[in-house]
A and B are shown apart, each in its own frame.
Chain A
Amino acid sequence: MTAYVVRRLWQMIPTLAGVILLIFFLFNWVGGDPAQVLAGKISNPEQIANIRKQLGVDQPYWYQLLVFVKQVFTFDFGRSWSTNEEVSRILMTRVGPTLTIMVPVMLIETSLSVLFAIMVAYVRGSLTDRAIMVICTTAMSISFLVYIIFGQWLFGFILGWFPVQGWSESYWKNLLTYAPLPILLAVAVGVAPQLRLYRSFFLEEINQDYVRTARAKGLPEKKVMLKHVLRNALIPILTNVGIYLPGLFVGSFLLEVFFSVPGLGREIVTAVNRSDFPVIKAVTVYLAVLTMVVNLLVDVMYKFVDPRVSFK
């Protein structure tokens, strides 16, 4: 187990190096000269030279790469190009609101879709099953944008059940007042695709021999489904949740833009619009690291979910 984790961590190094190279290539080479963007329309060559010097883009590429690597390992990406706020501070303060919305979304969405999926899978082939599948397919085809625009208009503007948008200083006020509508919309959109996917996982398990054995020895249906089938279907479900987990931190940037939640997702969109490269670079690198770590954690968790899994 320890050997496995160490080897996996060791394998992360080339990938991380690759991510750093890719981001460096994108932002320092493809991205062109940021001084032109920052100096604005009225600028003279001296100003541009000055800004270039300040940002260090007048240095040779190998030196810039070195600086970037140093930034990654010291968690110090300097200051934002547009607001002059420290990048590390931006990241720290924006993660909270994002997680306030995304953690409940993840929990509710996963439990609801697992619950519905096992119910639908149990009555497979019936009219209920087919009707729910048709509804899911239709629901999935409508753009997330339409859900948000319509939901915000209906629940926030017309019915007035929730504030249309906003955010406050207090955590509980955020969670209880401002977060429910974005959470509701994200769950409404997220359940359909997951339900469809998990249903197929359950169907795969329901046709296995051990289910027949369990029924043959007279176990009640509840036990068969919730103990035998659910446990076995948990592995692909876990993988799927693991895939979505790093995305939690980017949050649903659309929701954050619509509901003006000061989260990481909105910050990224703003940074992209302002060509604020340090912020995007920092977010991308650290989320890549996070993704790798989460993947490792999920792989380790298989062992606990399924004792048959052995680490090679």
Chain B
Amino acid sequence: MSAVLPNNAAPAVQESPGLWTLAWRRLRQDRVGMVCLVVVVVYLAMMVASFAGLVAGDWNKERGVSYANPSFLAGAENLEAREVTNRDGESRAKPVDLSDIDPLAPRYKEWEERAAKIAVTEVKRSETLPFGGDKWGRDVLKKAVKGAEISIFVGLTAAFFATLIGTVLGALAGYWGGRVNDFLEWFYNIFTSIPYILLILAFAAVFKRGLDTIIVILALTGWTGIYRLVRAEYIKHCGREYVKAAQAIGASHASRMFVHILPNASHVILVQLSQHVVSFIKAEVILSFLGLGVPVDLVSWGTMLAEAQNELVIGKWWQLVAAGAGMAVLVTAFSMLTDSLRDALDPKLK
């Protein structure tokens, strides 16, 4: 009898790893993918820190002279800055003396006294900034960080909502088929028959400008690709045995759609989400450049590039490089991460 007992304490059955565990393991072996993941995480952390005001909270402060040189170019000549200082000097020159004919002349003294009481703090503007300054002497590096926050925020939220719309519609069309599918396919055809960029501009024409608007526009126009893929996944999974089994134990339609099938399509959705973040960041930059994106009191990579166009002609390249490089690094890392993610989630593809 006692011989049976040890059996109960036998080592527990080894649990087989799930999809996500396996994917994570494969991703960890992908060195390039991991480096990209680190870069993306650093950018996201920067975005959160900037959002919380920990970094670049004072990007709007005019710290340096106009078009201040970057610190590593401290010695270089800066004609624009000098011109501005000169102009200031001229305006401070004494005005023409009108006291003989001016009826208000007796009050000059009173005004002078009153003016003297008002404290004017002369901000000492520095000649150089870490990565140069813009036209108003704002720190380009801080602007780039703040711009990254706005651009990434727009990319992430717009991609999230586009994925949400695409997933829900795709699930409905794929799961129900028939009339629902016909209607949604019609809807899809309408959206895809208009060239994408034209669709965005048409939406931008009727909406007001603002950060929320640009997210809405990108989400409302960008869901079509996701819809198509999710629909295909649902059609594939609908007839599978596990869904039939769920039906047999009395799972509702909603439960079958979103509890049973959705996790099995989630890898497709995740890769799509990640792809759309990249393309929406690019789209935001272009829209903001055209003045259809973020409002003027905010800064994004797109508005920085819009300023950079005129600055380059007078030799001020730092804003172009800051915004361009900031964006290029993130976009490269994000798209390579997407590739790694796809390989990790779907090993059959390799």
Contact = CB atoms under 8 A, between A and B. Distances in A.
A257 to B, nearest CB: 7
Interface string B47-77: 0000000000000000000000000000000
A291 B207 contact: no
Contacts of A31: 205-206
B157 interface: no
Interface residues of B, number: 42
Nearest to A32: B206
B209 to A, nearest CB: 10
Nearest to B311: A149
Interface in A273-288: 273, 275, 277, 280, 283-284, 287-288
B208 to A, nearest CB: 9
A185 B194 CA distance: 25
B205 A277 contact: yes
B202 A284 contact: yes
Interface residues of A, number: 46
Given A149-B308, A246-B195, A247-B197, A23 B189 contact: no
A167 interface: no
Contacts of B199: 284
A121 B199 CA distance: 35
B198 interface: yes
Interface string B267-283: 00000000000000010
B238 interface: no
A212 to B, nearest CB: 21
Given A14-B186, A250-B195, A268-B198, A143 B305 contact: yes
B327 A143 contact: yes
Contacts of B285: 143, 145
Contact of A250 (B197, B305, B313, B335): B197
Interface stretch (B122-130, B226-234, B244-252, B287-295): B287-295
23 contacts: A14-B186, A15-B189, A15-B193, A18-B190, A22-B190, A23-B202, A26-B205, A137-B332, A137-B335, A137-B336, A141-B327, A142-B331, A143-B282, A145-B285, A149-B305, A149-B320, A247-B196, A247-B197, A257-B290, A271-B205, A280-B202, A287-B195, A292-B193
- What 9 pairs between A and B have smallest CB-CB spacing? A18-B190, A141-B331, A31-B206, A141-B332, A146-B324, A272-B205, A288-B193, A15-B189, A141-B328
Interface of B: 186-187, 189-191, 193-199, 201-207, 282, 285-286, 289-292, 301-302, 305, 308-309, 312-313, 320, 324, 327-329, 331-332, 335-336
Given A141-B331, A143-B285, A150-B312, 19 more contacts: A18-B190, A22-B190, A26-B205, A26-B206, A27-B205, A27-B206, A137-B332, A141-B329, A141-B335, A145-B305, A146-B324, A149-B320, A250-B198, A253-B201, A254-B289, A272-B202, A272-B204, A277-B205, A287-B194
Interface of A: 14-15, 18-19, 21-23, 26-27, 30-32, 137-138, 140-146, 149-150, 153, 157, 246-247, 250, 253-254, 257-258, 268-269, 271-273, 275, 277, 280, 283-284, 287-288, 291-292
